[in-house]
Amino acid sequence: MDAADVRDDLSEVLYTSDQIAERIAEVAAQIDEDYAGREVLLVGVLNGAVMVVADLQRAMKNHVQMDWMAVSSYGSGTQSSGVVRILKDLSSDLDGRHVIVVEDIIDTGLTLSYLMSNLASRNPASLEIMTMFRKPEASRMEVDVKYVGYDIPNKFVVGFGLDYDGRYRNLRDLAILSPHVYS
């Protein structure tokens, strides 16, 4: 399957890689300002947040560190299961650290609510959330999201780290997956 074939499975590009980079630069500048004099630990949620963490930290001017967690939520379908399991835990101790959890997308927020209470119990100096994309449903979440890239419509999207069944993460744009792929 070549790159042209991958793009045949998309119905609409919502954000181009340039628009994503532009927004990440703005968020990075905001984080630099908000955390001036305090070193941030970005906690990326695998695998979707890989691109966000890579681009966000390179757009920052402050010192910054990263660590990773893997949790299960979606499986290979397009609906949140509500089942959250830690598949890979952090290597770092969060005690006294300024932590920003980095997500690719928040839909129901089920995954994140679980993660936040888990991380809060590890005694960080501060704990905030950055998500690249956010769906409307997330507004009903109890946890506060400090940094949002873009609010998007309630469609199943892929690209910029987001997958369908392990594929499409390598697309640089964020696009709506054509329903013919999964129906």
Residue that has been written with the tokens 């004099």 in this structure: 37
Find the binding residues for ligand 5GP in span 99-128 (CB under 6 A). Answer: 103-112
Nearer to ligand 5GP, 29 or 153 (CB): 153
27, 24, 34, 28: which is closest to 60 by C-alpha?
A: 28
Shortest Cβ distance from residue 177 to ligand 5GP (Å)?
A: 8
Q: Are 125 and 96 in contact (CB under 8 A)?
A: yes
**Does 73 help bind ligand 5GP (rule: CB under 6 A)?**
yes
**Does 164 help bind ligand 5GP (rule: CB under 6 A)?**
yes
Which DSSP helix (H) or strand (E) runs through 67? strand 64-72
Shortest Cβ distance from residue 169 to Mg ion (Å)?
A: 9
- Nearest-angstrom CA–CA distance, 163 and 74: 10
107 as an active site residue: the answer is yes
Find the binding residues for Mg ion in span 46-105 (CB under 5 A). Answer: 48, 74, 103-104
Alpha carbon 178 to chain centroid, angstroms: 22
Binding site for Mg ion (CB under 5 A): 45, 48, 74, 103-104, 163
